[in-house]
A and B are shown apart, each in its own frame.
Chain A
Amino acid sequence: MELIENSFDRPSFGQNTTAQSVTILCPLCGTSFIPSLSGTQYCLKCLNASTDITQGITKQGILNFCRFCNRYLRPPWVHCDPESKQLMSLCLRKIRGLQKVKLVDVNFIWTEPHSRRIKLRIKCQKEINQTLVEQSFPVEFVVHYQQCEDCKKEFTPHTWTALVQVRQKVTHKKTFFYLEQLIMKHNAHEKCIKVKEQHEGIDFFYKDKTHALRFIDFLESMFPTKTKSSKQIISEDLNNNTFNTKYTYSVEIPKICKDDLVIVPKKIATQLGGCSQLLLCQKVANMIHLIDPVQMKIIQMDGTKYFALEDKLTFIPAKGNTTEFLVYDAEWAD
């Protein structure tokens, strides 16, 4: 149903008078109405039914969604709850042609999540010939699966160039939990492509050798470490003299943890400055702090010293080997 188009380039009628026009019968439905109020020859209902103010507005769209991390693609990948405000704003941004009409109300229409469709009901208003026509229409979005860039990086196997293997030869994971907190605090995981858990440690994969070296520097500032590096040539171009290599760095963290007992043989005890043979580990930071319970002396060991003596010392971990005692009474001893 089309409105008669000739009324638009018409000479104006009744413009000089502010008087109301007579009532006529609407040609489409036969109801009587006053045409000067609606501005056209049709009654308001027929005008509403015959005009389509939603022409030109997109009624279908596509949303991109990453299955692996559950994020929608607005130009950055963002996380949206179903039927949330962020999802609504994301959908509205994708609709073209909303500038010509005035938005009155937007609602979600319930859709089955497995249908991969999101529907919106939009109510809009437009002025036609001095009358305000309000129409509502549904917009359907199809949710397409697309892998976001971060997930792509994680899934492709051969994009890493450098690998940092962090190992600690203990049975518990206390240190790694602490390491995780430290990494998050200092944002040291930025350039890392992939993180993989291994036996007795974690592997960090990097695209660039420099990123891996930066991470190793970070680790060395946090713990006393021993680093070994190696490389492997993947491919070579002898004409240009270029080589494609993969670098692997092995970082070892000391076995010793806080509250561990260290048994020192006599020779080394004298080396360390005449301390007793039993030492308690007080703190592991940049250096290892050991406390002598008898003489109340604190001995500090840095990484190189520790790794030199590692074989000769015996470590007894606190967990599982300690019993808790309750102190009843303390007496001064002479």
Chain B
Amino acid sequence: TPPANYFIQAFHLTNPPPKVPHFFLTMATRCQFENSNDIGVFAKLTSNYCLVSIGASENFYSVFEADLAPYIQVIHTSIAGTRIIGRVTAGNKNGLLVPNNITDSELKQIRNSLPDGVKVKVMEEKLSALGNCIACNDYVALIHSDLDKDSEEIISDTLGVECFRTTIASNALVGTYMVMNNQGGLVHPLTSVEELDELASLVEIPLCAGTVNRGSDVIAAGLLVNDYSAFCGLDTTSTEISVIESIFKLNEVKTESKDNEMRMDMIKDLK
């Protein structure tokens, strides 16, 4: 992490807070969507926007709002009238891909609510659960082996990523069994050592295998991650949370090295 973290902290009062909150005191937050621990199904989280589905009560929405609202957009929507927006869409800070059964009014609302610079594209693809077929961060995407060539080109164009067709633990649904941000990734626990090495070399970030929601192997259903925050189901044990925090590098502020300590002292002197 850049040492700029601490300087920003020092000048916090005089300068307005930056667009991306680097001083976020992160710990993965546990929540539930209407008593279901599979929150990755009902929401989509990226570095500069967040999509949340319409629920019977607004508690879920308010969890996200509380943590993210001042910094990024939290958008309330449905896709094709359904609430499973996390699993049918795929996106990163550059763009968002939606399936072809999305209604026109929903598409219009999303286009209007998303920040500028985020491209929205409707995918004409047989495998319409895009969230299950594509696992991506801001630089690289892993896609389902059976996606069309055209779709692959659209993906790399819209999201601004490099696409690779792979499997996770011999299963083609890469979007379900893997979650990535720009610092790290979490995969299905039964991934073999060779496969993990291969994937890590493809995406060029550290990967580790683990579980979420008390031993569930459907990682993407239980976990929402971006570069500075994470949300997971209520059943997630503390062991799993510690694995999540360490692999996605969410507890940066807490880890203090010798250099940072020295810088803190310098700032104090300046003050």
A residues near B (Cβ < 8 Å) are 3-4, 6-7, 10-17, 19-30, 35-36, 40-42
Given A17-B170, A41-B216: A25 in contact with B191 (beta carbons within 8 A): no
CB distance from B233 to the nearest CB of A (A): 11
Given A3-B215, A4-B216: A14 in contact with B192 (beta carbons within 8 A): yes
Contact between B239 and A22, CB atoms less than 8 A apart = no
The yes or no answer to B189 lying at the interface (CB within 8 A) is yes
Give bound CA distance, A17 to B168, whole Å. Answer: 12
B221-243 vs A, CB cutoff 8 Å, 1 = contact: the mask equals: 00000000000000011111011
Contact between A25 and B243, CB atoms less than 8 A apart = yes
Give bound CA distance, A27 to B170, whole Å. Answer: 23
B interface residue count range (under 10 / 10 to 19 / 20 to 34 / 35 or more): 20 to 34
Q: Which of B88-96, B156-164, B204-212 has 4 or more CB atoms under 8 Å from chain A?
A: B204-212
Contact between A27 and B169, CB atoms less than 8 A apart = no
Give bound CA distance, A13 to B188, whole Å. Answer: 9
Contact between A13 and B170, CB atoms less than 8 A apart = yes
B157-197 vs A, CB cutoff 8 Å, 1 = contact: the mask equals: 00000000000011100000000000000001111111110
The yes or no answer to B218 lying at the interface (CB within 8 A) is yes
Give bound CA distance, A4 to B266, whole Å. Answer: 51
The yes or no answer to B263 lying at the interface (CB within 8 A) is no
Contact between B239 and A30, CB atoms less than 8 A apart = yes
Q: B237's contact among A6, A13, A19, A27, by CB below 8 Å, is which? A: A27
Q: Using Cβ atoms and an 8 Å threshold, which residues of chain A touch B126?
A: none
Give bound CA distance, A41 to B238, whole Å. Answer: 15
Q: Using Cβ atoms and an 8 Å threshold, which residues of chain B touch A27?
A: 211, 214-215, 236-237, 239-240
Given A3-B215, A27-B214, A28-B237: A21 in contact with B190 (beta carbons within 8 A): yes
A-B contacts counted at CB < 8 A amount to 88
Q: Using Cβ atoms and an 8 Å threshold, which residues of chain A touch B189?
A: 21-22, 24, 35, 41
Q: Using Cβ atoms and an 8 Å threshold, which residues of chain A touch B169?
A: 13-14, 21
Contact between B208 and A16, CB atoms less than 8 A apart = no
Given contacts A27-B211, A41-B211, A41-B217, 14 further A-B contacts (CB under 8 A): A13-B190, A13-B217, A14-B170, A14-B191, A17-B192, A17-B195, A19-B192, A21-B190, A22-B209, A24-B189, A24-B210, A26-B239, A27-B236, A35-B209
Q: B170's contact among A6, A7, A15, A22, by CB below 8 Å, is which? A: A15
10 A-B residue pairs with Cβ-Cβ distance under 8 Å, sorted by A, are: A6-B216, A12-B170, A13-B190, A13-B217, A17-B195, A21-B169, A28-B215, A29-B239, A36-B190, A36-B192
Give bound CA distance, A315 to B236, whole Å. Answer: 104
Residue of B nearest to A40 (CB): B215
Residue of B nearest to A10 (CB): B217
Residue of A nearest to B216 (CB): A4
Q: Using Cβ atoms and an 8 Å threshold, which residues of chain B touch A19?
A: 192-195
Contact between B218 and A6, CB atoms less than 8 A apart = yes
Q: Using Cβ atoms and an 8 Å threshold, which residues of chain A touch B190?
A: 13-14, 21, 35-36
Contact between A22 and B191, CB atoms less than 8 A apart = yes
Given A13-B190, A19-B194, A20-B192: A25 in contact with B239 (beta carbons within 8 A): yes
